[in-house]
Every structure is written in C-alpha cells, then in structure tokens.
Amino acid sequence: MLEILKNPGVIVFITGLVGACTYLFQDWRKTAVDRRDRKRQLYEELLKNIFELFFINSQEERCELVSKIEKCWLFSSDEVLKECYSFLKQFDSILKESEEIRKSVKTKESFENIIARIFFQMRHDLRGRTTKIKENWAEENVVIYGWRGIISVSENEGKKAKRMKKLIAKVKLNSKNMFSCGYLLCNCLAIIGVQRLLNLGWPAAMVAGKEAGKAEGKGTRLRDGFMRILDNYLDKVMGIFIF
C-alpha cells in the first residue's frame, strides 16, 4: 500500500483529484451565493409591488402590478407562492366590501399578518435552517405604515367624474363670460368710432371725400369721406389686437 502511494503517478493523480474537488466545491458555493443574491433581488421587487398595490387606484395600473406579482411562479418557493396568492385573494375580497371595511383597522391587521407570513417564508427560503425567527414573532412586528385603506376603482372613477363635471361647468362659465366681454368690447368700439366721426366733423369728411373722388375720377362725396375715416379707425383697432 505504501509502495503504491509512493508511486509518482499516484501522487500526481491524488493531487489533481483534490484540486478538482476543491475547484468544484468553490464553484458550487459561488453559484449558490449568486443564486441566493439574485433571488433576494427578485423578492425585494416582489415586496415592492405588493406594497404599491395598496396605493394604486387605477384599474390598469392595478392589473399591471398583479401580473408582476404573479411572476413569483418563476422563482419563489412553494410557500412564498402560496402566501402571495393568499394576499391576492384577500385583496380582491376586500375590494368588494364597503369603504368603512376597506379602511378599517381590522383589514389593516389582516394584511399585516399575510405580509408577515410572506416575509417569514422568504427569509426561510434564503436562510434555510440558520434563521431562528418564528412566524408568530413576524406577525407581531410587521406593520403597514401610512395606511389609508384600499380605494375601489368605482369610487375613484366617481371622484374623477365629479371633478370633470366641475371643470366642464367652469369652462362653460368662462366661455360665457368671454362672449359677454367680446360683445361689450364690440359695442364700445362702435360707440368710440361714431364719436370719432362726430369729433372730426364735416371738414375732415370733406377732405377724405375729395381724396376718394380724385382716386375714382369723381367729384366730392361726403359719404365716402365718412366711410374712409371709419375704415382707417377700424384698421388701427384691429392692428392692436393682431399684433
């Protein structure tokens, strides 16, 4: 036996075998650590989606979050998967209740217990037998902060409809006021235009009438003079609004 172990070929074989086993063990350990870190990141994203579900009041966004939570089928343990679906079932059942129940302390405590069990199963999956945390301890210490209850989609849409009605009524009122102001402005401009004609008097109208008659090869026309003065005035007023 000793003679075999002294054989150089056997020594090289044993050395290589020990080296290969050491390399395989280190590679297995590194793979396990990477897999655990990757699962921990996925669990963090899952918890984020679960907590955001409490503060979403849009049906489209809520469906998107539920679909993200259901992706736990791909990576979570069996226990975590079961607790996640317990949470979703509880959430759907509470949505059908009255506003008082949806915002009650009892509802808050029921969700705290479910989330505590999710935390516990995640920790058990990541840490295995090394964890000493008990499920009862988790249920006593997990708290949902900033609880405002669960807002149903119908309730949120009702609030949006009320706000939209108020906005439409406000727009109609502003449009009516704008029309009244425009009507008043036109009347004021007409009065000012007539007053300007009266202030200029007949001499200015005669001069304008002569210019109009020369341009058309005709005699002096008083009506054309008044119309030319009024046109010049309106052009100036419209120029103010355009520019």
CB atoms within 10 A of CB 50: 21
What would the mean pLDDT of 200-224 be, rounded to a whole number?
54
Residue at a domain's end among 151, 185, 200: 151
Instruction: Provide the pLDDT confidence category of residue 88 given band limits of 50, 70 and 90.
Output: very high
**Does residue 84 have a pLDDT over 50?**
yes
Q: Fill in the amino acid letter for 160.
A: K
Verify that 213 and 237 share a domain, yes or no: yes
Q: pLDDT, tens digit, for every residue of 10-44?
A: 667 777 888 888 878 787 778 888 888 999 999 99
Residue at a domain's end among 151, 173, 204: 151
Verify that 187 and 140 share a domain, yes or no: no
Residue at a domain's end among 104, 126, 151: 151
Verify that 114 and 208 share a domain, yes or no: no
What would the mean pLDDT of 144-160 be, rounded to a whole number?
69
CA 134 to chain centre: 38
Helices (H) and strands (E) in the chain, counts: 9, 0
**pLDDT of amino acid 243:** 44
Q: pLDDT, tens digit, for every residue of 193-209?
A: 555 554 555 455 555 55
Q: Please tell me the total count of domains within the chain.
A: 2
Verify that 138 and 221 share a domain, yes or no: no
End-to-end CA distance of the chain: 110
Q: Are 87 and 66 in contact (CB under 8 A)?
A: no
Both tokens assigned to 18: 């020990």
**Does residue 123 have a pLDDT over 80?**
yes
Verify that 146 and 160 share a domain, yes or no: no
**pLDDT of amino acid 55:** 85
Verify that 190 and 124 share a domain, yes or no: no
Verify that 160 and 144 share a domain, yes or no: no
**pLDDT of amino acid 241:** 45
Verify that 144 and 74 share a domain, yes or no: yes
Verify that 115 and 91 share a domain, yes or no: yes
Verify that 42 and 119 share a domain, yes or no: yes
Domain that holds residue 171: 156-242
